[in-house]
């Protein structure tokens, strides 16, 4: 306990010279790499454990389905922004490139062949969106992130031929699309088509290669409706076992949202339907019961007074149900003082009711659903106060309890090439898990030129931790800063410390991810007159090169450069 207090005190002392930052992510959807307010462990651009320290429960955010994620990608049983097919909103042309430090192109000149490290890998992106022409516009984008793709031999054995749009690194995803759209005051619609290479990380801890050829996504937002329709022809393969299969999938959603007048009223309602229809042929490594899922849901906000609000989301179908509700009250207090008390609940039979229900592994059928239900209850108090025109601070405390948390009941571990896989079924922890959290933050600012945040938090969890997929970090400290000089030159940086986290169930021995300091920084020069911006980001300047997830890749010091011209 004393060592914990000493670390917090010493870190807060540093905060007097440090700072809240908006460090640019290396790619849209990879903001988790620079997150500082919880446990964020990245194994690849498409698989990570992401959990806020005050979120409650032991699951990661990407495991939980919500209506806010209707445009996210379903990667096996997790919701992911990346690979994002959200059309870039601003008419522009852009290019992005970068690399991990220590690439072979430099080592060739600096070291003898015997002393050279493993090859380092790049990041590539390029695209455009045209200005409107009578309401019509066109867009195209190619993007892939080769970071975290060590253990190349494993992937080469699975797909003998090159498995990306560009290069020979066998990256964990490589995506490209092009399409047309139409936008006016009534409708915003688009149709995109392309192809994508991706490696899915499954519940058995295997990497499965999938080629979407083609992938087509259509969207239309009009009046108070939002619709999405996707067709995917997915090709599965494992050349080492001479296995092949195909999945033809149609998925999407339709949502009715509360209109402007409705949002100004006491009661706000929205409703929608998410759906998936599958047709599998050959060896496909996962399955969905009845080859379809229909997921109707309803959202409601009741606000009888300006300080009090109730939020409810409820979804149900023939297999599952899920409820997420909360109540929040802002306590009238002194001027500029904000005291909020609240409670929330998550209950249901499954965190992600639209995900597949089975996985097939070496003749074994792995159940991805568990009997019974989970129930998460949480209460919290938040206090914020603005002390002057340049200083504010806040704190938050919460207590939560969860029963029936989803876990994985391991039967045995087996070797899978360079990695370790597992047999078993998704199960539940049918006992109470309890947690208490605390957070404190301090904000400083000067007009638009300078912003600073010092943030620290802790969490204590009591329960059967050996059955947790991940034992989250117990505390963190972060200092973030933004400088904007003459409204054209930006410096953003984030320096943070996260304590140890531990994976329990994906390897024969627990994988302890040691606590460490991390530092990311972005420099950006803007030329507003010409609509041009040039940015460079350094990621993981501090910290050891480590593997943060079982069967994941190394997180290394890397840089990313972006050039963008807006029309």
Q: Are 138 and 191 in contact (CB under 8 A)?
A: no
Task: Return the closest-CA partner of residue 349 out of 413, 428, 288, 287.
Answer: 428
Q: Is the peptide bond before 214 cis (omega within 30 degrees of 0)?
A: yes
452 strand-pairing partners: 444, 481
Non-local CB neighbours of 498 within 8 Å, separated by 6+ positions: 36, 39, 40, 473, 476, 515, 516, 518
State the DSSP string of 67-90: GGGTTSEEETTEEESPSP-PPPSS
Q: Using CB atoms within 10 A of its CB, is residue 89 exposed (0-12), middle (13-18) or buried (19+)? A: exposed
Place of tokens 């601070």: 393
Q: Are 470 and 448 in contact (CB under 8 A)?
A: no
Rounded to an integer, what distance in angstroms lies between the CA atom of residue 65 and that of residue 80? Answer: 10
Assign residue 404 a region: left if phi > 0, alpha if psi is -120 to 50, beta otherwise?
Answer: left
CA–CA distance from 111 to each of 99, 376, 545 (Å)? 19, 55, 20
Rounded to an integer, what distance in angstroms lies between the CA atom of residue 537 and that of residue 34? Answer: 11
Asked whether the CA dihedral 63, 38, 171, 213 is positive or negative, the reply is: positive
Q: Are 81 and 502 in contact (CB under 8 A)?
A: no
Would strands 38-44 and 78-80 be described as parallel, antiparallel, or unpaired? unpaired
Cβ-based neighbour number of residue 566 at 10 Å: 15
Rounded to an integer, what distance in angstroms lies between the CA atom of residue 3 and that of residue 16? Answer: 21
Residue-by-residue pLDDT tens, the chain, 567 positions: 444 334 333 333 333 333 334 899 999 989 999 888 899 999 999 999 999 998 999 999 999 999 999 999 999 999 999 999 999 999 999 999 998 876 555 555 556 656 655 667 789 999 999 999 999 999 999 999 999 988 888 999 999 888 999 888 899 999 999 999 999 999 999 999 999 999 999 999 999 999 999 999 999 999 999 999 999 999 999 999 999 999 999 999 999 998 888 888 899 999 999 999 999 999 999 999 999 999 999 999 999 998 999 999 999 999 999 999 999 999 887 656 789 999 999 999 999 999 999 999 999 999 999 999 999 999 999 999 988 899 999 999 999 999 999 999 999 999 988 899 999 999 999 999 999 999 999 999 998 899 999 999 999 999 999 999 999 999 999 999 999 999 899 999 999 999 999 999 999 999 999 999 999 999 999 999 999 999 999 999 988 889 999 999 999 999 999 999 999
Q: Is the peptide bond before 83 cis (omega within 30 degrees of 0)?
A: yes
Rounded to an integer, what distance in angstroms lies between the CA atom of residue 4 and that of residue 15? Answer: 17
Tell me, letter by letter, the H, E, C secondary structure of 277-323: EEEEEECCCEECHHHEEEEEEEEEEEEEECCEEEEEEEEECCCCEEE
Cβ-based neighbour number of residue 519 at 10 Å: 19
Q: Which two tokens stand for residue 497?
A: 């410390």
What are all long-range contacts of 368-373, with beta carbons under 8 Å and residues at least 24 apart? 368/77, 368/203, 368/286, 368/426, 369/319, 369/320, 369/426, 370/406, 370/425, 370/426, 370/427, 370/428, 371/428, 372/404, 372/428, 372/430, 373/347, 373/348, 373/349, 373/404
558 strand-pairing partners: 100, 539
CA–CA distance from 543 to each of 239, 311, 498 (Å)? 37, 40, 11
CA 213 distance to own-chain centroid: 24
Q: Are 291 and 279 in contact (CB under 8 A)?
A: yes
Q: Are 41 and 548 in contact (CB under 8 A)?
A: yes
Query: Rounded to the nearest 5°, which phi and psi values hold at 77?
Result: -120, 15
Rounded to an integer, what distance in angstroms lies between the CA atom of residue 489 and that of residue 265? Answer: 42
């Amino acid at each position: 306990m004393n060592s914990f207090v000493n670390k917090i005190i010493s870190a807060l002392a540093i905060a007097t010279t440090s700072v809240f930052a908006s460090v640019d992510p290396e790619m849209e959807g990879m903001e988790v790499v620079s997150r500082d307010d919880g446990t964020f462990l990245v194994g690849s651009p498409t698989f990570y454990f992401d959990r806020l320290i005050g979120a409650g429960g032991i699951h990661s955010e990407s495991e939980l389905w919500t209506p806010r994620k209707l445009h996210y990608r379903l990667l096996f049983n997790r919701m992911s922004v990346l690979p994002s097919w959200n059309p870039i909103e601003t008419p522009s042309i852009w290019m992005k490139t970068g690399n991990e430090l220590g690439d072979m192109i430099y080592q060739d000149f600096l070291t003898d062949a015997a002393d050279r490290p493993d090859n380092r890998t790049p990041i590539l992106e390029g695209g455009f969106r045209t200005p409107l022409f009578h309401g019509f516009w066109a867009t195209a984008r190619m993007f892939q992130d080769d970071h975290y793709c060590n253990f190349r031999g494993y992937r080469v054995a699975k797909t003998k031929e090159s498995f990306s749009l560009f290069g020979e690194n066998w990256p964990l995803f490589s995506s490209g699309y092009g399409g047309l759209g139409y936008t006016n005051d009534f409708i915003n619609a688009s149709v995109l088509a392309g192809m994508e290479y991706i490696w899915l990380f499954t519940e058995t801890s295997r990497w499965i290669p999938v080629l979407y050829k083609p992938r087509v996504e259509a969207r239309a937002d009009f009046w108070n409706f939002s619709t999405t329709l996707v067709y995917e022809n997915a090709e599965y393969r494992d050349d080492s076992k001479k296995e092949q299969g195909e999945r033809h999938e149609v998925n999407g959603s339709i949502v009715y949202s509360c209109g402007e007048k409705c949002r100004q009223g006491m009661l706000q309602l929205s409703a929608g339907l998410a759906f998936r229809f599958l047709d599998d042929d050959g060896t496909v490594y996962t399955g969905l019961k009845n080859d379809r899922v229909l997921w109707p849901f309803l959202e409601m906000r009741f606000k009888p007074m300006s300080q009090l609000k109730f939020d409810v989301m409820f979804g149900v179908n023939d297999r599952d149900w899920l409820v997420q509700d909360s109540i929040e009250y802002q306590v009238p207090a002194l001027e500029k003082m904000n005291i909020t008390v609240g409670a929330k609940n998550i209950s249901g039979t499954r965190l992600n009711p639209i995900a597949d229900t089975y996985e097939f592994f070496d003749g074994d059928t792995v159940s991805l659903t568990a009997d019974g239900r989970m129930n998460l209850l949480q209460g919290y108090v938040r206090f914020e106060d603005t002390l002057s025109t340049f200083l504010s601070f806040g704190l938050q405390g919460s207590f939560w309890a969860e029963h029936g948390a989803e876990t994985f009941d391991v039967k045995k571990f087996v070797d899978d090439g360079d990695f370790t896989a597992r047999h078993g079924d998704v199960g539940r922890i049918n006992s109470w898990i309890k947690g208490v959290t605390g957070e404190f933050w301090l904000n400083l600012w000067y007009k638009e030129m300078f912003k600073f945040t010092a943030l620290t938090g802790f969490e204590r969890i009591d329960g059967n931790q050996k059955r947790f997929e991940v034992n989250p970090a117990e505390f963190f400290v972060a200092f973030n800063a933004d400088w904007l000089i003459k409204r054209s030159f930006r410096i953003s940086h984030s320096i943070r410390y996260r304590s140890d986290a531990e994976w329990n169930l994906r390897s024969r021995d627990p994988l302890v991810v040691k606590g460490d300091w991390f530092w990311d920084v972005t420099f950006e020069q803007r030329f507003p007159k010409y609509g041009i911006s040039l940015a460079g980001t350094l990621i993981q300047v501090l910290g050891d090169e480590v593997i943060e997830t079982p069967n994941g890749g190394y997180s290394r010091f890397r840089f990313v450069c972006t050039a963008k011209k807006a029309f």
